[in-house]
Structure 1
Amino acid sequence: MTRGRRFPGHAMRNGAAALCAVVLYYSVPVGWMFELDAWPGRLVGVFLFVGGIAGLGWLVWRRIDNYLREPTAAGAQVDGLLLLVCIVGVVFALFYYRLQQLHPDQFAGLETRTDALYYTLVTLGTVGFGDVHAVGQTARIVTMVQIVFDLVVLGTLLTIITTSVTGRIQAATRAAHELSGDAPDTTR
Structure 2
Amino acid sequence: MRSTLTLAAVLAAYYLLPLDSAFTAGTVVVLVLGVVLVALLLAWQVHTIMASARPGLRAIAGVATALPFFVLLFAATYYLLERSAPGSFTETMTRTDALYFTMTVFSTVGFGDIAPRSEVARLLTTGQMTANFLLIGVAARFLLGAVQEGRRLRGIRVPGDEDGGPPPAR
**TM-score of Structure 1 vs Structure 2, range by shorter chain:** 0.5 to 0.7
User: Deviation of residue 161 (structure 1)?
Assistant: 6.4
Q: Does 1:147 align with 2:137?
A: no
Amino acid aligned to 2:113? D
CA contact (8 A) 1:123 1:147 kept: yes
Given candidates 142, 159, 162, the residue that maps to 1:169 is: 159
Identity %: 24
- What is the number of equivalent residue pairs in this alignment? 136
Amino acid aligned to 1:70? A
> Relative contact order, CA 8 A, sep 6+: which one is greater?
2
Unaligned runs of 5+ in 1: 1-11, 33-59, 175-183
In structure 2, the partner of 1:93 is 75
Q: Which is higher, the Rg of structure 1 or of structure 2?
A: 1
CA contact (8 A) 2:89 2:116 kept: yes
CA contact (8 A) 2:106 2:129 kept: yes
CA RMSD, Structure 1 to Structure 2 (Å): 3.4
Q: Which has the higher helix share?
A: 1
In structure 2, the partner of 1:70 is 51
Matches within 5 A, 1:1-188: 12-31=1-20, 67=48, 70=51, 73-160=55-142, 163=145, 164=147, 168-170=158-160, 173=162
Secondary structure at the aligned position of 2:110 is classed as coil
User: Deviation of residue 165 (structure 1)?
Assistant: 6.5
User: Deviation of residue 23 (structure 1)?
Assistant: 0.5
Determine the C-alpha separation between the residues in 2 that align with 1:123 and 1:69. Answer: 31
CA contact (8 A) 1:100 1:111 kept: yes
TM-score of the aligned structures, taking structure 1 as reference length: 0.59
CA contact (8 A) 1:110 1:116 kept: no
Question: How far does the alpha carbon of each residue in 1:115-158 deviate from its partner, in whole angstroms, 9 at most, with x for none?
Answer: 00000111111112321110001111111111111111111354
Determine the C-alpha separation between the residues in 2 that align with 1:96 and 1:185. Answer: 49
